[in-house]
Amino acid sequence: MSFLKKSGVYITGVGQLKVEKKSELSIREMGAQAIILAMIDAGVEKIDGIFLGNMLSGILSNQQQLGALVATTAGLKGVEAVTLEAACGSGGAALRAGVMAIMSGLCETVVVCGLEKMSHEDKDFITRSIATASDWETEGGKGETFITLNSQLMQRYIKNYKISPDSFGMFSVNAHVNANKNPNALFHKEITLSEYLNSKYLTDCVRLYDASPLCDGAAALVLSKHASSSKSKATQVRITGSASSTEYIGINDRTDALAAEGIQRSGQAAYKMAGIKPADVDFFELHDAYSIISALSLEAMGFAKQGEGWQLAESGDIFSDGKIPISTFGGLKGRGHAIGASGVYQAVEAYMQLTDRAVHNCIKKEANIGLIQSIGGTASTTITHVLERM
């Protein structure tokens, strides 16, 4: 039995704001509100630390030191608070830092919060800002963006496995079906495969519905060394696996970009720590910022052979009644990808799925083990967590 399973890191409360195209709240207010909601849900008034996930506040909001700013706004002056940055994986990095703080014995109760405010008038400036998560010397500085970089991956995949660009459509259909049932999602409109196929191209092969939107959002959760005394055993959730791995940031520096070795390493380490295998996982909240990453993640995590991840979407196995449901609340594409918050939204949603609080977003089978994965860049930083119902 793993060390985490024996001692445990428990999620005892969660909070989230509705993802919006443009929030009327300031970034400090967004983070503070999410934290307060999570602490109320957990029934705690005191915590030992706050770990924030954020990527762009220094660039887009001219604001660093989010830790102290959000802590004091939430009425938690004096509490240790730091910001973690791992590009689009920042929320996952904050969650891992919170897990390690509990496991080290230095903290008993902490808050993990992910937040991002991206509502900025100049969309080109936002796109260039996000591109700082690429290898600037060889990619971003040469005019590449994450749309063009993911397009490169998608083109390689299509050519290597001799499939049609249309093969990725059901990833988007599933995301929008689930987002439509999620009151906190940005999009509340289902799409058909025909609508996906007729949507405009952003690049040679990436369609509008293959990419996640720019938006604002914040989510938080409370981690504790102890299970909640106010909740039944059936609604207790424990984090039993946590792992992080890196890969070359530049996709052309990798041995095989389609093998997604960074995702594999992170996933295998999390599986080993939790003492599980892919067949034990009931649902997977993957990092579907782009459709190609969904396919690569399913393959790297052992749910499909290499080159066949898209088939799980086409067959319907990723839907709520399928073999391996993904993006059960809409994912990054449907719920929205508020970059630093996405990894924490995943944890909140997985917790809700495991505690029968998912309401209309419940998967059809009994959910006992959930897998969440937060990715920075084109899978250059990957943080994987396993959550289990007690």
Q: Is 88 among the catalytic positions?
A: yes
pLDDT tens digits along 287-314? 999 999 999 999 999 999 999 999 999 9
HEC string of 142-195 equals HCCCHHHHHHHHHHHHHHHHCCCHHHHHHHHHHHHHHHCCCCCCCCCCCCCHHH
| 2 pLDDT higher than 70 | no
The catalytically annotated residue of 113, 205, 287, 337 is: 337
The catalytically annotated residue of 88, 107, 113, 205 is: 88
pLDDT tens digits along 333-365? 999 999 999 999 999 999 999 999 999 999 999
| Structure confidence at residue 8 (pLDDT) | 79
| 232 pLDDT higher than 80 | no
Percent of the chain topping pLDDT 90: 94
* Residues 242, 93: Cα–Cα separation, whole Å: 10
Which of 1.10.3720.10, 3.50.50.60, 1.10.287.10, 3.40.47.10 is the CATH number of 143-211+237-389? 3.40.47.10
* Mean pLDDT over the full length of the chain: 96
* Residues 307, 156: Cα–Cα separation, whole Å: 11
| Structure confidence at residue 5 (pLDDT) | 55
Q: Which amino acid is at 291?
A: S
Of the pLDDT bands very low, low, confident and very high (cuts 50, 70, 90), residue 46 is: very high
Question: Alpha helix (H) ranges present in the chain?
Answer: 3-7, 27-42, 57-60, 66-73, 90-104, 123-130, 146-161, 169-179, 193-197, 261-274, 291-300, 309-314, 331-334, 339-354
| Structure confidence at residue 1 (pLDDT) | 46
Query: For the residues 127-132, what does the mean pLDDT come to?
Result: 96
| Structure confidence at residue 233 (pLDDT) | 65
| Structure confidence at residue 327 (pLDDT) | 98
Q: Which amino acid is at 132?
A: T
DSSP state of 233: G
| Structure confidence at residue 220 (pLDDT) | 99
pLDDT tens digits along 17-31? 999 999 999 999 999
| Structure confidence at residue 10 (pLDDT) | 97
Q: Is 351 helix (H, G, I), strand (E, B) or coil?
A: helix
Alpha carbon dihedral 70, 81, 41, 287, in 10-degree steps, equals 90
Q: Quick one: how far is CA 227 from the chain centroid? A: 24
Supply the pTM of this predicted model. 0.97
Residue 100, Cβ neighbours under 10 Å: how many? 15
Q: For the chain, which residues make up each domain, given as ranges?
A: 3-121+216-233, 143-211+237-389
| 230 pLDDT higher than 80 | no
Query: For the residues 116-125, what does the mean pLDDT come to?
Result: 90
* Residues 39, 35: Cα–Cα separation, whole Å: 6
**Torsion region of 330: left, alpha or beta (phi above 0 gives left; psi -120 to 50 gives alpha):** left
Query: For the residues 127-153, what does the mean pLDDT come to?
Result: 97
DSSP state of 360: G
Query: For the residues 133-154, what does the mean pLDDT come to?
Result: 97
**Fold for domain 3-121+216-233?**
Peroxisomal Thiolase; Chain A, domain 1 (3.40.47)
Q: Is 362 among the catalytic positions?
A: no
3-121+216-233 against 143-211+237-389: fold identical: yes
